[in-house]
Every structure is written in structure tokens, then in C-alpha cells.
């Protein structure tokens, strides 16, 4: 253990020497985003219904019209609310997220989680019983080396309630299928198909918390009457969050709120 810690410190020292940390906007050394530049990122003051994306709704809750549509189909909406923290374009968020995911800088999870926490507090979203990150498929996790949503969730759990971190359950959901990245799909319906039935309950987690029972009863009891905060980095159509929320509701969750850094608004063919 001592040798591993030493090697990690040595590696960090070499990286900091060769590639010193600097603000991605003003180039000031010390942080990936300095305090002055962080203040320039504004929290979205207005949220909309996560389904129609038209009706202005407090804390991004499902609007009455969309709620009636679910009730008319005898269904339950997979998300009760969705907080979109900031604008994706022109705010610098797009650059931060790109560096976070594709330049493999997990340290950016801290300032990005802070942006999400500010939005949650600003819109007075209730604190959850659990925070659950959107899982990556094992293949993509090996490629990236970390799950960006899990990093956001863990940082958020400490930022929201300093000194009393909220429970993060990283292994509750699994991604059953390796699919094309949503960003590469420009058709709305194809995006929905791409994430259909991709999530499931983690059997290993189930066995750990159900005395090796073969059914989901223990998991249902664990989530019964509980509020879950589902975390992802970016949302476009919301399809991924909706699919994960559906699984959580079927497992017994009473309320499922979603929170993302931003919504990427791209032109999709419907």
C-alpha cells in the first residue's frame, strides 16, 4: 500500500510538473477553473418540464399537461423533475464537460458538481435519500477509466450537505448493453430506441442486500417511499434519464429527480 501511494504521488508530481494545472479559460495556474471564471457561469434561473420542454415549471417538475398524459395511459412518469444547471453553449460549460470526459480530467468533477449543487439549491429541490449516477457500460468504463456521472454524484453528495454526505449508490443500476453514444445519433426516435431497456438492476447489489434472495423484494423495500436523485452529465432528449428513472420507479422509488450539468440543444430529426 505504501509503495502504491508513493507511486501515485510520484506520478501526480511528474504530471503537475510537465502539465501544470491552469484555468481552462484565463490560463491562470492553480485550478482547472479559477474562482473568477467560475463566477461567470450563471445558473439557469428558469426550468421547464422535462417531457414537453416547453412549459415553464418550478424546479423542472413535470407540468400538469404531461402528468395528465401519463395518467391517461395509466402510466407513471419516470422523472418527477429535471434540473438543468447551466447553458451548454456560450457559458464555457461545453469546454469543461469535453475536457472532463474526453481529455480524461476527473478533477473537473468537483467544480462541475458545485454548479449542479448551486442549481439544486437555487430551485429548492428536496434533498434525496439516495444519489444514483447513470452507469457506464463496462467496456466504455475501461476505455475512459472512470464514470463521470459517478464522480459528479460523489462530489455532489459532499457539497450539498457538508460534513454529512448523502448516500451514493453507484452499483444499483447496470448498463446491460453497449450502445452507440447518444451524441452520434441525430434522430429523436432512434435515440429513444438506442437506450430502450439498456438498464437493469445489478444482481450483485441485489444479492448483497437481499440475503441471496432471487427476487427484488428487498430492493423494493429499500427504495419504498424513498426519493432518488439521478445524476448524469449532459441531457439532450432526456431518453437516458427517463429509461433509468423507469427502472428506479419499478424498483419501488417514490420520487425520482434528475439533475445534469446542462442540456445540449442540437437539431434532431423527429
DSSP character string of the chain: -HHHHHHHHHHHHHHHHHS--B-TTT--BTSSS-HHHHHTSPPPS--B-TTTS-SB-GGGBPPHHHHHHHHHTT---S-SEEEEEEESSSSSHHHHHHHHHHTT-GGGHHHHHHHHHHHHHHTTPPPPSEEEEPPPPHHHHHHHSS-HHHHHHHHHHHHHSTTSPPEE-TTSEEE-S----GGG--BHHHHHHHHTT-EEE-HHHHHHTTTT-SSSHHHHHHHBT-EEEEE-SEESSSHHHHHHHHHHHHTTBSEEEEEEEEE-----B-
Q: Which of 1, 97, 262 is nearest to 9 (CA)?
A: 1
Pairwise CA distance, residues 61 & 55, whole Å: 10
What are 92-105's pLDDT values in tens digits? 899 999 999 998 89
What is the structure's pLDDT at 206? 56
Position 10 confidence tier, pLDDT thresholds 50, 70, 90: low
Q: Are 233 and 85 in contact (CB under 8 A)?
A: no
Q: Which of 39-43, 58-62, 68-72, 255-259 shows the lowest per-residue confidence on average (mean pLDDT)?
A: 68-72
Hey, what's the torsion of the CAs at 104, 132, 189, 270, to 10 degrees? -80
Q: What is the CATH number of domain 44-263?
A: 3.40.50
* CA 47/CA 64 separation, integer angstroms: 15
- Whole-number mean pLDDT of the chain? 86
Return the exposure string of 156-195: e unless at least 16 CB atoms fall within 10 Å of the residue's CB, then b: bbbbbeeeeebebbbebbbbeeebeebeebeeeeebbebb
Say which residue, 190 or 208, is predicted with more confidence: 190
Nearest to 26 by CA among 95, 101, 107: 95
- pLDDT at position 218, please? 65
pLDDT score, position 234: 94
**Residue 212 pLDDT greater than 50, yes or no:** no
Q: What is the pLDDT of residue 189?
A: 79
- Percent of the chain scored above 90 by pLDDT? 63
The answer to whether 219 touches 210, Cβ cutoff 8 Å, is yes
- Indicate the pTM of the whole model: 0.86
* Mean pLDDT to the nearest integer, 105-126: 96
Please tell me the distance from the alpha carbon of residue 155 to that of residue 230, in angstroms, as a whole number: 14
| The pLDDT of residue 162 is above 70 | yes
118 and 43 in contact (C-beta within 8 Å)?
Answer: yes
Say if CB 134 and CB 244 are below 8 A apart: yes
pLDDT at 267: 59
Region of poorest pLDDT, from 77-81, 116-120, 139-143 = 139-143
Instruction: Tell me what pLDDT residue 166 has.
Output: 95
- Mean pLDDT calculated for residue range 79-99: 92
Domain-by-domain residue ranges, the chain?
1-40, 44-263
Phi, psi of 63 (to 5 degrees): -80, 160
Q: Which residue has the higher pLDDT, 143 or 150?
A: 150
pLDDT per position as a tens digit, 186-204: 777 777 787 888 999 887 7
Please tell me which residue, 193 or 3, carries the higher pLDDT value: 193
pLDDT value, residue 12? 56
CA distances to 21, 111, 208, 259, 266 from 100, rounded to whole Å, are 13, 11, 32, 17, 20
pLDDT of residue 205: 65
Amino acid at each position: 500500500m505504501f509503495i502504491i501511494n508513493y507511486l501515485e504521488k510520484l506520478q501526480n508530481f511528474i504530471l503537475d510538473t510537465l502539465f501544470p494545472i491552469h484555468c481552462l479559460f484565463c490560463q491562470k495556474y492553480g485550478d482547472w477553473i479559477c474562482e473568477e471564471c467560475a463566477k461567470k457561469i450563471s445558473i439557469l434561473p428558469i426550468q421547464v418540464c422535462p417531457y414537453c420542454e416547453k412549459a415553464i415549471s418550478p424546479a423542472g417538475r413535470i407540468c400538469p399537461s404531461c402528468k395528465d398524459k401519463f395518467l391517461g395511459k395509466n402510466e407513471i412518469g419516470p422523472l418527477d423533475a429535471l434540473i438543468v444547471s447551466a447553458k451548454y453553449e456560450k457559458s464555457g460549460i461545453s469546454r469543461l464537460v469535453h475536457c472532463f470526459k474526453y481529455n480524461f480530467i476527473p478533477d473537473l468533477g468537483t467544480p462541475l458538481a458545485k454548479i449542479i449543487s448551486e442549481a439544486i439549491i437555487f430551485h429548492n429541490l428536496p434533498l434525496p435519500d439516495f444519489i444514483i449516477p447513470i452507469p457506464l457500460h463496462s467496456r466504455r468504463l475501461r476505455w475512459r477509466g472512470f464514470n463521470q456521472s459517478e464522480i459528479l454524484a460523489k462530489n455532489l453528495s459532499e457539497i450539498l450537505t457538508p460534513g454529512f454526505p448523502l448516500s451514493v449508490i453507484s452499483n444499483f443500476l447496470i448498463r446491460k448493453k453497449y450502445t452507440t453514444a447518444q451524441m452520434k445519433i441525430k434522430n429523436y426516435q432512434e435515440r429513444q430506441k438506442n437506450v430502450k431497456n439498456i438498464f437493469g438492476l445489478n444482481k450483485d447489489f441485489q444479492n448483497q442486500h437481499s440475503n441471496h434472495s432471487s427476487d427484488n423484494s428487498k430492493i423494493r423495500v429499500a427504495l419504498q417511499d424513498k426519493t432518488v436523485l439521478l445524476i448524469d452529465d449532459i441531457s439532450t432528449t432526456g431518453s437516458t434519464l427517463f429509461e433509468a428513472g423507469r427502472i428506479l420507479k419499478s424498483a419501488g422509488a417514490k420520487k425520482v429527480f434528475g439533475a445534469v450539468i446542462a442540456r445540449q440543444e442540437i437539431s434532431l430529426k423527429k
